[in-house]
Amino acid sequence: MTIQKIALVTGATRGIGLETVRQLAQQNVHVLLAGRDRAKATEAALKLQAEGLPVEAIALDVDNTSSIAAAAKDIEAKHGHLDILVNNAGILVDDLAKKPSEQTLDAWRKTFDTNLFALVAVTQALLPLLRKSDAGRIVNVSSILGSNTLHSDPTSGIYDFKVPAYNVSKSAVNAWTVQLAHELRDTKIKVNAIHPGSVKTDMNSHGDIEVADGAKSSVELALIGANGPNGSFSHLGQTLPW
Query: 78 in helix, strand or coil?
Result: helix
Beta-bridge mates of residue 191: 138
Q: Where are the alpha helices (DSSP H) in 33-142?
A: 38-50, 65-79, 105-112, 118-130
Could you tell me which residues come within 8 angstroms of residue 166 by beta carbon, excluding any fewer than 6 positions away? Answer: 91, 92, 93, 94, 111, 115, 143, 145
For 89: left if phi > 0, alpha if psi spans -120 to 50, otherwise beta; the answer is: beta
Q: Catalytic residue numbers?
A: 166
Instruction: Name the E strands within the chain.
Output: 6-9, 30-35, 55-59, 84-87, 137-141, 190-194, 233-235, 238-239
DSSP 3-state of 57:
strand
Nearest in space to 235 (alpha carbons), one of 165, 145, 156: 145
